[in-house]
Structures are given as C-alpha cells and as structure tokens.
Amino acid sequence: MEIKHKIQFGTDSDELAKKVLTKEKIATSSLYDYYCMNLKDTIKENEYVSILDSQNREICIIQITKIEIIEFQNITEEFAIAEGDGNLENWQKIHTEYYSLMLEKIGKSLTGETKLLCEWFTVITC
C-alpha cells in the first residue's frame, strides 16, 4: 500500500480525526480552486491517504472511494452528515466561515457556485 498524500483537517484536526476513527466522518471537502492553483495536491480515487492530528501524527490510513466536484449550494444533507457535521445547516454554517477565510487568502469570495472537491473514503487501518 503506497501512501501518496496526507490530510490534516481544517478547523479542529484532532476532533475531526477522531470522527474518522469512529466512522462518524466518512467524507471531506476542499476548495476546488486550491487544486486548480496547485496549492493542494490532487488525490485520486482508490489512493491511500494518511490522516494526521494537530501534532502531525498519523491517526489512520484511509482509501478514497469516490470523488465529486460539487457546487457549494448543491451539497446535500447526506454529504453534510458524512463529513461529520450532523446536518446540512450545521455544515453550511461551519463551511461558510471556513471557506470564506480560505478564499479570501487567494483573492476570491464564497458563492453558491464555488466548487468543492468532495471525497468519500473508508478507513483501512488505525
């Protein structure tokens, strides 16, 4: 198994990594613009990824099972729950704030049409 990428989740990497271990979090999203601008490495389906905590320690290894590009306004309740955020309303609140800050760093603003790279995964080993 070759691990090509590492993920450290945004706002609370320790809490989100724990949600991966409990399978409360089985998906994640990123700003598509960051990939287009080569600010993030592109991950492909079936690749193995190391999940890191806030201290850069490996928590587990996941395998990406599905990747979709979805506009912010089209995120579903199912995806919001899969990201470990409980429901769509909570997901929108958290991600509106987070993605607005991230887009500001590259001179852009969050809109309903902002594209997200949405990845579904399964835990392989802890």
Q: What is the pLDDT of residue 88?
A: 97
pLDDT for position 125: 87
Span 3-125 CATH architecture: Roll (3.10)
pLDDT over 70, % of the chain: 100
Q: Note the residue count of the chain.
A: 126
- Answer yes or no: pTM beyond 0.75: yes
Taking only the tens place, the pLDDT of each residue in 52-109 is 999 999 999 999 999 999 999 999 999 999 999 999 999 999 999 999 999 999 999 9
Find tokens 């989100």 and name the residue. Answer: 16
